[in-house]
Amino acid sequence: MLAVGTRIRVPLRELHFEFTRSSGPGGQNVNKVATKAVLRWQVQRTTSLPADVRERFCERYKRRITTQGELVMSSQRFRDQGRNVADCLEKLRQMLGEVATRPKPRRATKPGRGARERRLREKRLRSQTKGRRGRVGGDD
């Protein structure tokens, strides 16, 4: 069971792992042993997430979700399968933790009097600076 807070619990039977060979340097270990872990999760079909959390998750991570509604992520940081599986689960836990709470709605505000006066004063000074540029001397 992958638990994130008190509301979110994802059973491990919903998560499917595939193992392939890692890329990059590593010699015989990389060439012979399938240590890269690829996590697949049917996030669109899961019933373990509340509807609002699933909606926020799908919106935030839509680039990682396939057209069939499956989240695909991988880890090849470590030299053994077990730690790469744990790394994938930790990444998923962090992703779910980021969307677990509803974001506070933004309230529109207006700039205060001091901010307006500063903006206009700086605008005047900039205008004067640019106005002083030009030819030195009188008109010919």
Return the amino acid letter for 119. R
Average pLDDT over residues 59-72: 93
The Cα–Cα gap between 133 and 109 comes to 38
Q: What is the CATH number of domain 2-100?
A: 3.30.160.20
pLDDT in tens, 17-52: 999 998 877 777 778 889 999 999 999 998 899 999
pTM over 0.75: no
The Cα–Cα gap between 23 and 56 comes to 32
- Backbone φ/ψ region at 58: left (φ over 0), alpha (ψ -120 to 50), beta: alpha
The Cα–Cα gap between 3 and 9 comes to 4
Average pLDDT over residues 91-112: 92
What local confidence, expressed as pLDDT, does residue 7 receive?
A: 82
Where are the chain's structural domains? 2-100
Task: For 71-130, give the secondary structure using H, E and C.
Answer: EEEEECCCCCHHHHHHHHHHHHHHHHHHHHCCCCCCCCCCCCHHHHHHHHHHHHHHHHHH
pLDDT in tens, 109-134: 999 999 999 999 999 999 999 999 98
Cβ 10 vs Cβ 2: under 8 Å: yes
